[in-house]
């Protein structure tokens, strides 16, 4: 399969080594040709510059895959027989900017014609069994470089400047078949870089592809090897998985392969527990359904304070019941309960995210959603006072939109009447929240008097008593709404007298 060689002409893939000529294949070929034409100011310029300097250059890996699929290409990846020093000599006269932070691994970065570019010397990587860092050895040919890549769909290249399509492992065919295979033996690939097992799950999520049986078997056999990979790299793959178009597929790959036992053991444990109403095979399956529904609601609602795809709400949906295994109790009559699993789950998910080196804000947000996910239940039966609605909003804080999504997604009952009743109840709660927000600005609830006013009114210095007085006024504000300064002062004096007396 090759493209037109004159860079002034529109690139066109003319060969069809797979023997297929269906609409999907033609669409992929046309998409790649059009993308290469659009990128001539970068791809063409670099290809001609390296050729004139006597070096090989190829667009490679994820860049070719994403061009074929019509996906965004935030970075362009190239590979070459030039060394890092030789790469720098070629690109310096062309680049708008360049950097060599990856020089140790043979990679030079640059910006050209507005595109972010990475150029890497042909290489082969291998992990020492006891090391977290790859050992880098430079290779000698494009074919050798391609065979060491993670999957066949990332082992395709475009030789430059002639625009020859190189696909020794039929990655093009695997794109059409929507499956993940490795260029060589899966065990060799995962030995070289165990993180590739996480990438298989991530691609299942992002692309909706199926993991080949041989690849999946190797993942099961080698799952414990993920332990040598740094927590930061595992975390980054997990985030990409959760933000994919099909996160459930990626999670199922993690769990079924045994990888989750090592990176998210709390998730694996959920398979052992049935929920108290026996609506689902197990809590794990329930959580997958909640995840599916959260993804759909996130896209449907398009909340202005949530940038979709949103890791926080999706991960909270997946992990909201992770406290159930530790809180399972058998009650008289055979009923199973999971009291306080929300609080326990919040602690568990916080601990796991810290182990995976998530930042504090993201960790706190997910844990808080897990802790609050049961708060709504009972609203439809007993009704809430305005005070309770205020507290719901205040406790959720900036996570309120996400809490709406999580709470609605957690309704998975097959009882239509019950589902409709819960949906109507939450509709009513949201209407009341909107009405109170318009009236009272619930997102900024404060007592009617600030700290300075409290100290002046009670004639007390800064200290714990001011905090207690402030907490009293905040509770009054929650219970009764805005009081005004005069009424707040009256109630504060009465409280102070009771404390003093």
Break the chain into its structural domains and give their ranges: 23-177, 178-263, 289-443, 446-500
Class of domain 178-263: mainly alpha
Task: With both helix axes pointing from N to C terminus, report the angle between 360-372 and 341-355 in degrees, rounded to the nearest 10.
Answer: 160
Q: Phi, psi at residue 273, to the nearest 5°?
A: -115, 135
On the CB side of 402, CA atoms within 13 Å amount to 29
Peptide bond into 161 cis (omega under 30): yes
pLDDT, position 496: 81
Total Cβ atoms within 10 A of residue 34: 15
| C-alpha to C-alpha distances, 178 to 120, 206, 238, 372, nearest whole angstrom | 28, 12, 21, 39
CA dist 124 and 140 (Å) reads: 9
The DSSP code for 42 is I
Q: How far apart are the first and last CA of the chain?
A: 91
- CATH topology of 178-263 equal to that of 289-443? no
Instruction: Please list, in sequence order, all residues whose beta carbon lies within 8 angstroms of the beta carbon of residue 310, skipping any fewer than 6 positions away.
Output: 243, 298, 402
Bridge partner list, 58: 79, 159
Tokens for 380, please give them: 């439809």
Residue 353: its pLDDT value, please? 98
89 vs 112: CA distance, rounded Å? 15
- Give the whole-angstrom CA distance, residue 336 versus residue 329: 6
Q: What is the pLDDT of residue 291?
A: 98
Q: Is the CB of residue 329 less than 8 Å from the CB of residue 339?
A: yes
Q: Does residue 369 contact residue 403 with C-beta atoms inside 8 Å?
A: yes
Q: Which residues, 6 or more positions from 500, have their beta carbon under 8 angstroms from its beta carbon? A: none
Instruction: Give the DSSP letter of residue 424.
Output: H
Check: CB of residue 454 under 8 Å from CB of residue 448: no
Which parts of the chain have pLDDT scores under 70?
Answer: 1-21, 124-137, 273-281, 380-382, 439-445, 501
Which pLDDT score, from 0 to 100, does residue 15 have?
Answer: 46
> Beta strand 179-180 with 210-211: parallel, antiparallel or unpaired?
parallel
Q: How many residues does the chain have?
A: 501
Longest dimension (CA), the chain: 94
Q: How many CB atoms lie within 10 A of CB 41?
A: 12
- With b for 16 or more beta-carbon neighbours within 10 A and e for fewer, the 449-461 pattern comes to beeebbbebbeee
Residue with tokens 């290469």: 36
Token pair in block for residue 421? 């009743």
Give the Cα separation of 201 and 178 in Å (integer).
14
Provide the pLDDT for residue 63: 94
Whole-angstrom Cα distance, residue 78 to residue 71? 17
Are the C-beta atoms of 370 and 395 separated by less than 8 Å? Answer: no
CB-count burial class (<10 Å; 0-12, 13-18, 19+) for 264? buried
State both tokens at 150. 């993670």
Distances (CA, A) of 419 to 20, 117, 205, 426: 48, 51, 28, 11
pLDDT value at residue 274: 55
Q: What is the pLDDT of residue 134?
A: 57
Cα dist from 414 to 70, 277, 289, 319, 490, whole Å: 38, 11, 12, 21, 53
Q: To which CATH superfamily is domain 23-177 assigned?
A: Beta Polymerase, domain 2 (3.30.460.10)
**Residue whose pair of structure tokens reads 């023997």 in the numeric block:** 19
- Count H helices and E strands in the chain, helices first: 25, 13
289-443, CATH topology level: Hypothetical protein af1432 (1.10.3210)
- Identify the DSSP state of 374: T
CB 175 within 8 A of CB 69: yes
CA distance 451 to 440: 21
Per residue in 399-411, is it b (16+ CB within 10 Å) or e — as a string?
bbbbbbbbbbbbb
> What is the pLDDT, as a whole number, of residue 237?
98
- Tell me, letter by letter, the H, E, C secondary structure of 462-473: CCHHHHHHHHHH
pLDDT digits (tens, 9 = 90+) for 406-462: 999 999 888 888 888 888 888 989 998 888 877 666 556 677 788 888 888 888 888
């Amino acid at each position: 399969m090759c493209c037109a060689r004159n860079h002034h002409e529109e690139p066109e893939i003319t060969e069809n080594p797979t023997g297929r000529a269906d609409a999907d294949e033609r669409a992929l070929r046309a998409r790649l040709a059009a993308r290469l034409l659009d990128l001539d100011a970068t791809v063409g310029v670099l290809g001609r510059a390296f050729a004139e300097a006597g070096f090989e250059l190829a667009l490679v890996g994820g860049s070719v895959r994403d061009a074929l699929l019509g996906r965004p290409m935030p970075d362009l990846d190239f590979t070459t027989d030039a060394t890092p020093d030789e790469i720098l000599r070629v690109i310096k006269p062309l680049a708008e900017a360049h950097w060599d932070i990856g020089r140790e691994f043979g990679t030079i970065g640059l910006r050209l014609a507005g595109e972010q570019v990475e150029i890497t010397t042909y290489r082969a990587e291998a992990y020492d069994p006891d090391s977290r860092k790859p050992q880098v050895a430079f290779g000698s040919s494009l074919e050798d470089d391609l065979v060491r890549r993670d999957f066949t769909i990332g082992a395709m290249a475009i030789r430059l400047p002639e625009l020859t399509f190189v696909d020794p492992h039929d990655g093009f065919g695997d794109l059409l078949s929507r499956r993940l295979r490795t260029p060589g033996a899966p065990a060799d690939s995962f030995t070289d870089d165990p993180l590739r097992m996480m990438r298989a799950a991530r691609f299942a999520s992002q692309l909706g592809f199926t993991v080949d049986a041989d690849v999946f078997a190797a993942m099961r056999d080698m799952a414990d090897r993920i332990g040598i990979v740094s927590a930061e790299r595992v975390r980054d793959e997990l985030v990409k998985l959760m933000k994919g178009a099909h996160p459930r597929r990626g999670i199922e790959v993690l769990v079924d392969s045994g990888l989750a036992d090592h990176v998210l053991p709390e998730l694996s444990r959920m398979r052992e527990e049935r929920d108290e109403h026996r609506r689902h095979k197990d809590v794990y399956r329930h959580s997958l359904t909640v995840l599916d529904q959260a993804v759909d609601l996130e896209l449907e609602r398009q909340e202005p304070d949530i940038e979709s795809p949103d890791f926080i709400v999706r991960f909270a949906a997946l992990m909201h019941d992770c406290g159930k295994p530790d809180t399972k109790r058998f009650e008289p009559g055979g009923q199973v309960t999971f009291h306080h699993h929300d609080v326990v789950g919040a602690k568990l998910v916080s601990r796991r995210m810290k182990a995976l080196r998530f930042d504090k804000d993201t960790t706190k947000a997910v844990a808080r959603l897990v802790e609050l996910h049961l708060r709504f239940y009972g609203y439809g039966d007993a009704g809430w006072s305005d005070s309770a609605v205020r507290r719901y909003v205040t406790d959720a804080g900036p996570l309120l939109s996400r809490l709406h999504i999580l709470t609605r997604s957690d309704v998975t009952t097959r009882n239509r009447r019950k589902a409709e009743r819960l949906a109507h109840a939450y509709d009513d709660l949201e209407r009341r929240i909107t009405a109170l927000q318009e009236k009272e600005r619930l997102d900024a609830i404060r007592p009617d008097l600030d700290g300075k006013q409290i100290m002046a009114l009670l004639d007390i210095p800064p200290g714990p008593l001011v905090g207690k007085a402030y907490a009293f006024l905040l509770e009054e504000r929650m219970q009764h709404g805005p009081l005004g300064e005069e009424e707040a002062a009256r109630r504060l004096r009465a409280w102070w007298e009771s404390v003093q007396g």
